Structure 1
């Protein structure tokens, strides 16, 4: 499918039809740039919390805040994530809102491939996760990455 730049709504409709996971990152980046989509910005106030989930592989245990944070060596990031390209480290988290009272459940659903990908619901799997809660120390303006 060839991408045609148009209004923001037209661009969003075209982007929804694409299988971005099957395209090279450079092509996805060019499509987004050509069809410029403005991110939604939100302010999180000091004193609020962000909850983050990391899946434990082989029942390993995370013991330090550094292990629960983001990847500090971007060269280890070879593939696209949900909101990042190769070599780009992003801190994924979820917050309490009027519609989300248990943000760690949202964070788990966004993290585990069996819950969000093509394999969702196809098999049983034991999930071991570590949930961390991060207190916001000063007001922050962040881009919202909302997925349906």
Structure 2
């Protein structure tokens, strides 16, 4: 099971990072009509939520700055950003480092039962699969936003 999860995580993260890297200058901070956030927010959100789900951020993981919760947690918005916001490319580097850390999980950890089920996920492996699913949803949002922004610019 672990090899399949690692393969899927790498595939999802690689596509996510390539999609972000392919953005035209300035597009990441545009909030198109009908969307609640920006691409920049989605990138930070994916990073922060994966860190929460898989590493226990902010209590058990110190890999990300504590202010990422205020910037990128569910329910936050770039309209309310205050203080220092990480650059998009810094977030991309952190995404790449994070997937390398995920690949260091021991295979047996994926069979561990969670103390409390989360969104129907009962094992760490199921939670990891959910994180992949979550990332894919946000990749779709980024792709949709990019199309809307480009269409509005024409």
TM-score by length of 1: 0.23
Decide which structure has greater helix share. Answer: 2
Largest Rg, 1 or 2:
1
TM-score by length of 2: 0.22
Decide which structure has greater strand share. Answer: 1
